[in-house]
Amino acid sequence: MSQSSLDDDELFGEAANEMRTDVEESLAEARNALPAADSVWDVEADNTLGVLNSLKTALDVGDAEDHLRDAKKWYTMGERADAFEDADDLAEEIETIADLIDDVDDAREQVGDLTATIPQLRSTLEEFEGEDGADAEADGDADAEAEA
């Protein structure tokens, strides 16, 4: 084996290690960018809309998607170059984080829908209560006139 071939193998090995490290670092950054469990569970507000807005804010995945994309990019390059001896753990971690980001995004969307719906529902209920009160008042007036 020539010296050049030995150097190329050594360089390839270094590059493979650096790619794996890049994937691992990007996955760690994605994990860290996800919301903390307590920030989703413990929200404080004065009313339902405030709670929903706080929850929607807490469900922001931040830069997690960008970090996951970087991890996927380096992982794909490493896989295509056959640079990883065993990368099953990386593939599983990528899938786990991608699924979690999807779940958080879905929850955020549902909370957003509720945030848009609750004020209208409140308004409709207030109108209904007002009509109910007006009907009761009209019935009371009619009863008073009949007694007189």
List, for residues 101-121, the tens digit of each pLDDT value.
999 999 999 999 999 999 999
Reported as a pLDDT band with limits 50, 70 and 90, residue 3 is: low
**Residue 42, pLDDT score:** 92
**φ and ψ at residue 117, rounded to 5 degrees:** -85, -40
Contacts of 75 (CB under 8 A, 6+ apart): 23, 87, 90, 91, 94
Angle at 9 between CA 7 and CA 15, to 5 degrees: 100
Q: What is the pTM of this model?
A: 0.78
